[in-house]
Amino acid sequence: MVIAYWIVAGLLAVLYLYSGGTKLVRSAEQLRPMMAWVDTMPLSAVRVVGALEILGVVGLILPPLVGVLTWLTVAAAVGLVLVQVGGITVHLRRGEVRVLGLNVVLLVLAAIEV
């Protein structure tokens, strides 16, 4: 079970580090080609989502790695589930049904970590 946790946590970490890091450092113009929804939100909200994704990764990896405050891992996984619920909501409101696949997969993987 421990191996399965680390495989899923590693996969989530790679995806969320890229996604969150991109949202934190790129401008709206740079994000627009890959994330059309940034036009419907203030850039500060996009940055908050990016920061939450990075914090989720830290919460998934660091506590079990050092064996301290391991309950934060569950909180981080729940937070990442909520990020995906928000993402799915935004895509549904915009009528972007075709892009929901990745959101659903990430939601399921984060839910497995809970």
How many Cα atoms are found within 13 Å in the side-chain-facing hemisphere of 71?
Answer: 0
The angle at the Cα of 88, spanning 86 to 90, to the nearest 5 degrees, equals 70
Averaged pLDDT for residues 93-108? 92
Q: Which of the four pLDDT bands, split at 50, 70 and 90, describes residue 99?
A: confident
pLDDT in tens, 13-22: 999 999 999 9
pTM, full prediction? 0.91
Averaged pLDDT for residues 94-103? 91
pLDDT in tens, 62-98: 999 999 999 999 999 999 999 999 999 999 999 998 8
- Going from the C-alpha of 84 to that of each of 29, 53, 56, the distances in angstroms are 23, 10, 12
| Residue whose tokens read 């497995």 | 112
For the chain, the 3-state helix, strand and coil shares in percent, each to the nearest 5, are 85, 0, 15
The angle at the Cα of 38, spanning 37 to 43, to the nearest 5 degrees, equals 155
pLDDT in tens, 34-49: 998 998 899 999 999 9
What is the percent of the chain where pLDDT is above 70? 100
pLDDT of residue 84: 97
Question: Is a pLDDT exceeding 90 seen at residue 1?
Answer: no
